């Protein structure tokens, strides 16, 4: 069964055609101890704040795209997911980092939806809503599927962390848009700035 893509932190879409970084959530912005259902368990990974600050200062905006199958599995209620995401926004706002929107897919693979990464639904929704230009956009995540969802648009991707490796069946199928692999978000930010500004 398929449901509409859901989002959080909506508002007036006033930042068209800006440089953009599409971000995975778990293991990219925050540790993932399992299905996070308590806002008090949300914390930021080292390097996230300085990395995002550098990119924001360089004119980038941020949009989060995240698979959250815990909702369909009954492990997280929609209300808990909203509270956890709100906590993430609050932690970043302490350092004046703004996330324009969080798009999330609540489904499992067997639901056959168009939004669970590596399907392109989350990316396509963000591109349509914000009129994103692929040439001005990057995508960062800790799994191949986090990048593959944007490969049809040619959006360059950076793989971060990934200590546990890829799920079965993904190890030999790196997406065509994978450009770099970095240890974390701060290093990924440096790489983007190096490419964008030839630093």
Q: Which residues are catalytic?
A: 24, 26
- Residue 148's nearest CA partner among 178, 125, 188 is 178
Q: What is the CA radius of gyration of the chain?
A: 16
Distance of CA 48 to the CA centre of its chain: 12
Partners of 31 in the β-ladder: none
One-character DSSP codes across 75-125: SS-HHHHHHHHHHHHHHHHTTT--EEEEEEE---GGG--SSSTTSSHHHHH
Distance CA 23, CA 185 (A): 10
CA–CA gap between residue 21 and residue 92 (Å, rounded): 15
Q: Please, which residues have CB within 8 angstroms of residue 198's CB and are 6 or more apart in sequence?
A: none
| Ramachandran region, residue 198 (left: φ > 0; alpha: ψ -120 to 50; beta: rest) | left
Phi-psi bin for 84: left (phi > 0), alpha (psi -120 to 50), beta?
alpha
């Amino acid at each position: 069964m398929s449901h509409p893509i859901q989002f959080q932190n909506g508002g007036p879409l006033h930042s068209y055609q800006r440089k953009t970084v599409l971000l995975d959530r778990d293991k990219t912005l925050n540790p993932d101890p399992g299905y996070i259902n308590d806002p008090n368990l949300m914390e930021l990974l080292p390097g996230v704040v300085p990395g995002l600050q550098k990119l924001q200062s360089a004119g980038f905006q941020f949009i989060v795209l995240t698979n959250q199958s815990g909702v369909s599995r009954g492990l997280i209620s929609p209300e808990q997911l909203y509270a956890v995401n709100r906590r993430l926004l609050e932690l970043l706002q302490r350092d004046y980092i703004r996330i324009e929107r969080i798009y999330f897919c609540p489904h499992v693979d067997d639901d056959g939806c168009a939004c669970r990464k590596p399907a392109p639904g989350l990316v396509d929704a963000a591109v349509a809503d914000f009129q994103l230009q692929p040439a001005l956009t990057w995508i960062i995540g800790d799994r191949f599927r986090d990048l593959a969802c944007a490969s049809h648009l040619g959006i360059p991707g950076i793989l971060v962390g990934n200590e546990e490796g890829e799920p079965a069946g993904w190890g030999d199928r790196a997406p065509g848009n994978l450009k770099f692999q970095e240890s974390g978000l701060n290093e990924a930010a440096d790489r983007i700035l190096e490419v964008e500004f030839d630093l």
